[in-house]
A and B are shown apart, each in its own frame.
Chain A
């Protein structure tokens, strides 16, 4: 991209701004950073903009009209998608929502329990346990997923909702975030005061500590939600019945069939657009609740 050139131009622009605030610079916008960021935003929005426009095109328009010129077939595309195999597309969306909401909820609970225990208590084996849980991050998913599949096959659980849900409940990253957040947000004296009042450990956790941990747990939930919604590999390995597919796997199979029949292209494109839409909307709504600071472990205590 054009960034190296822009970066070289920066010092001169900077000094000009400090020393000579001429009439042209009255509004004092830092041009180099602004333009660089706009180019970055353009790059990131380009495929999204394309899919929005491409989903409005009919099959013929897709190959004949200019790419960024909207077409006239959006309603037809959506009804084609609805009709495709009796609306299996919406079933995939429903499955994705089920996996992501339920999985993220359970994952947040497990992370909250573990994070709280690891942050608030001193006990034998604490650091060992934490490190062992964290090491799970390093395991390539396919390396886990294949033996998971073989083991679940022995329990006769493959090709079921549980086979996709269960392996994704424990998230090492979620435990890590919950621990950092609990350590910063739950003061030791508050826990101690609860004990003085004669409250049991569970009561202290559920009534006192949990409300304090909510902002951190929202972040854990959203991360896990996105991770499960975006997961492709695990359902790809576990499932064969396409009634149970999440949307990622569904679109993949649709593309595989569509590769030989360009008539299905519009279906894939419309499907991709509608699949991106809910998550982007969710992002725009919740981004203010999302403490991204947690990402780098930067919690002010």
Chain B
């Protein structure tokens, strides 16, 4: 692009800043300020003097790293982190695997009903997470579910989907159901952008569709896969509304099932905003480290492949 702004009048120089005023203001007010405030709160605590009665009895004082050491030794938070890690290990590979598979199938030759199936698989994106959890929640209930009806008729054992190990699968299924279509579209769009010439050589060499998919298509859409992976990790770490919605249907989803639920519980249930702020800061840091770590690893691999 050319550099149009240089020689023209004063008004042009100021224009980009003027255009960016609303975004900058909103960013300062609703992103920067709250984050700064959360970090500030995380280093504070409430000291109660005497019986905690009267005006000066509760005062906010500096806490140093106390809230952080408290958070890191909080077994409930760590268990929540482990639960979400287990959940993520199911959701991310299954969801992206299915998304990639469907995208490749949509992109294959002579496939029928592609517009219909593409729309159908994308449809759950339009369903709010709460409603998705609610729909599946009912489908997991033995009294209402068609699965249990079938299992019952076949005389098979009927597992309790809302408890123990199956609960992870039940929750993962909701996320996979809601997220596959969106990721499929991202990958599919990237597949469509591959120029036709690339396939010609493969066809001349007599490559099977599977070989074409593995050797040409998947490497060429690698950047999209990295992108979807990146966003899936972030979304998984932030899981909140699905377990919160399933909670009324089962006793085995604790109010502190995921780390974010624990933060919510501490902030509003217990009213300890300082502990909650420290936990929130830790989760934000973990998210940043994980997502950037992943991006760097992906970049390094790309460079190695390019060097070869």
A binds B: yes
CB B133 to nearest CB in A, in angstroms, measures 9
B-to-A contact residues, CB < 8 Å: 1-6, 8, 11-13, 15-20, 22-24, 26-27, 29-31, 33-35, 37-38, 41, 98, 101-102, 104-106, 108-114, 116-121, 123-132, 134-139, 143-146, 149, 177, 180-182, 185-187, 189-190, 193, 208-211, 224, 227, 234, 237-238, 240-241, 244-245, 248-249, 260, 263-264, 267-268, 273, 276-277, 280-281, 283-284, 287-288, 291
Contact B240 A142 (CB under 8 A): yes
Instruction: Report the number of A-B residue pairs with Cβ-Cβ less than 8 Å.
Output: 310
Is A269 an interface residue when CB atoms closer than 8 A count as contact?
A: yes
Is A62 an interface residue when CB atoms closer than 8 A count as contact?
A: yes
Contact A129 B20 (CB under 8 A): yes
**Which B residue sits closest to A17, measured CB to CB?**
B110
Q: How far is the CA of A296 from the CA of B228 in the complex (A)?
A: 9
Contact A121 B8 (CB under 8 A): no
Contact A280 B126 (CB under 8 A): yes
Contact A287 B227 (CB under 8 A): no
Q: How far is the CA of A67 from the CA of B147 in the complex (A)?
A: 9
Contacting residue for B31 out of A170, A230, A256, CB 8 A = A170
A259 partner residues in chain B, CB cutoff 8 A = 248-249
Contact A114 B127 (CB under 8 A): no
Contact A147 B34 (CB under 8 A): yes
B18 partner residues in chain A, CB cutoff 8 A = 201
Contact B101 A7 (CB under 8 A): yes
Q: How far is the CA of A259 from the CA of B121 in the complex (A)?
A: 30
CB B92 to nearest CB in A, in angstroms, measures 16
B208 partner residues in chain A, CB cutoff 8 A = 10-11, 14-15
Interface magnitude class on chain A: 35 or more
Q: Contacts A122-B3, A276-B127 known; A117 to B110 CB distance under 8 Å?
A: no
Listed by A's residue number, 16 A-B pairs whose Cβ atoms lie within 8 Å are A32-B105, A37-B117, A44-B120, A47-B139, A114-B20, A123-B17, A138-B234, A146-B277, A166-B30, A170-B23, A195-B4, A229-B128, A255-B248, A276-B131, A279-B126, A292-B189
Contact B102 A40 (CB under 8 A): yes
B113 partner residues in chain A, CB cutoff 8 A = 34, 37-38
Q: How far is the CA of A34 from the CA of B190 in the complex (A)?
A: 20
The stretch of A48-56, A70-78, A82-90, A213-221 in contact with B is A48-56
Contact B105 A37 (CB under 8 A): yes
Q: Contacts A11-B209, A44-B177, A229-B128 known; A147 to B41 CB distance under 8 Å?
A: yes
B106 partner residues in chain A, CB cutoff 8 A = 33, 37
Contact A37 B111 (CB under 8 A): yes
Q: How far is the CA of A127 from the CA of B146 in the complex (A)?
A: 54
Contact B263 A142 (CB under 8 A): yes
Q: How far is the CA of A279 from the CA of B143 in the complex (A)?
A: 29
Contacting residue for A252 out of B130, B177, B189, CB 8 A = B130
Contact A41 B128 (CB under 8 A): no
Contacting residue for B35 out of A110, A144, A170, A275, CB 8 A = A144
